Amino acid sequence: MSQSYDILLRHGRLLHPNQPSEVVDVAIADGKIAAVASQLDQPARPARLEFDLQGQIISPPFVESHIHLDSALTAGEPRWNQSGTLFEGIEIWRDRKQSLTLEDVKERAIATLKQQAMQGVLFVRSHADVSEKNLIALKGLLEVRDLVKDWMTLQVVAFPQDGVYGNPQNESLMEEALKLGADAVGGIPHYELTHEDGVRSVHRIFELAEQYDRLVDIHCDEIDDDQARFLEVVIACAIRSSMGSRVTASHTTAFGSYNNAYAFKLMGFLQHTCINFIANPLINITLQGRTDTYPKRRGVTRVKELWQQGQNVSLGHDCIQDPWYSLGTGNMLNVASMAAHVCQMTGTSEIDACYNMVTWNGAKTLHIEDQYGLEVGKPANLIVLDAENRYEAIRRQATVSYVISQGKLIASTEPPSPQWKLG
């Protein structure tokens, strides 16, 4: 007997991470994917919403695995970043964060999340600066996590922007953030005052993660210095702690500057663990290489080689209109496109891989695979894209026609339809 559905999607092209897509109908009921078949019977009662997708892609939602919502939408406050460097960005943010209020953080974060959701992002990991004595950014984002939970899954990382040991109170602020409920422990070893402090900070981060049973996501070697060596410390800690897939190394731009002999050694070590990598190509192509003359480095980690070796790599926006990056819209196809260009991943399977880095791979990084995907019985989180495959989605920066979160249609956008007017 056919049942009734809340939403029925007809003739959509269902994406699979590593197999060809297939044209199917998808039925949604009670917040879950109720049925997937090449042709579903007409239900006894019409579905509340029914769409003929005419071959558009049905994809799991985009995953934004690395962003800073606490600083989003503050570009130009109190001044613009004229040098375009990471370090001027940190200085400007240090001034801006003096005037943070809970309302300010919440308002900007929710506005950004809505902007992202309307473009198909339903899972977000945000860093929250915890090197500010009142933990306003963290408290604001933890409140937001709860306020948006009916349409967006948000993870919050306790991120010590000024270093775990950059200030005497920062270490205890980090721990306080975990007690308040941060999902992951962050770090910035390359910005600690000394190399020794950097190493010590990584050890402390792992200690806290084990003690409080949290994930790890460290801003690691986000610098052009080919001598930055904190990724090896993260790998060693991941191997020794057996935390593997619960650990993420973000940015790792120095990996792009290492000599090949050292890089190949690290690649070998990586085979003993399964840590995740997050590259942020939009921002790192602009932030890095600022002290280079010519040739200028691309400033992005070895995405292609990590992917070829089978490491989990996902992609993030990092910033949307903040002191580090005044551009950005939250569109993950923009991120995937930049990765395809900067990392020279333009082969067909490589372009598909870039798409997977903003979907399935991001879910793996966030450790949410049990609630993510298009299988029957999973929560009905999915998007419809006005494209016939991943390549076209990235090439044309396709419109996300429908966004369905937890079984509810939360946003729709009409694809542009330009008209030729000259006869």
Please state the closest distance from residue 66 (CB atom) to Fe ion, in A: 6
User: Out of 210, 222, 232, 305, which one is annotated catalytic?
Assistant: 222
Least CB distance from residue 206 to Fe ion, whole Å? 19
By C-alpha distance, which of 253, 242, 257, 308 is closest to 278? 253
**In whole angstroms, how close is the CB of 368 to Fe ion at the nearest point?**
20
Pick between residue 248 and residue 337 the one whose CB is nearest to Fe ion. Answer: 248
d(CA 9, CA 12): 7
Residues paired with 51 in a beta bridge: 9
Taking the complex as a whole, the smallest distance from the CB of residue 105 to Fe ion amounts, in Å, to 17
* # residues contacting Fe ion (CB under 5 A): 1
Q: Which residues contact 38 (CB under 8 A, 6 or more apart)?
A: 22, 23, 24, 25
* 222 belongs to the catalytic site: yes
The one segment of 30-38, 262-270, 317-325, 366-374 that binds Fe ion by CB under 5 A: 317-325
Helix/strand/coil for 38: coil
Q: Are 292 and 257 in contact (CB under 8 A)?
A: no
Of all residues in this chain, which one has the CB nearest to Fe ion in the complex? 318
The residue (of 306 and 320) whose beta carbon lies closer to Fe ion is 320
Q: Which stretch binds Fe ion (CB under 5 A): 170-178, 312-320, 350-358, 380-388?
A: 312-320
- Tell whether residue 318 is a contact of Fe ion (CB under 5 A): yes
Give the residue with the Cβ less far from Fe ion, 162 or 318.
318
Q: Which residues of 294-319 are buried (b: 16+ CB within 10 A; e: fewer)?
A: eeebbbbbbbbebbeeebbbbbbbbb
Q: Which is nearer to Fe ion, 343 or 383 (CB)?
A: 343
Tell me: cis bond preceding 78? Omega within 30 of 0 counts.
Answer: yes
* Closer by beta carbon to Fe ion, 161 or else 401: 161
Residue count (the chain): 423
Please report whether residue 64 would count as binding Fe ion according to CB under 5 A: no
- Smallest separation, CB 318 to Fe ion (Å): 5
Phi, psi of 200 (to 5 degrees): -60, -40
Q: Which residues, numbered 227-256, are part of the site for Fe ion (CB under 5 A)?
A: none
Residue 129 near Fe ion by CB under 5 A: no
Q: How many CA atoms lie within 13 A of 173 on its CB side?
A: 28
- DSSP three-state, residue 47: coil
Instruction: List active site positions.
Output: 222
Give contact residues for Fe ion (rule: CB under 5 A). 318
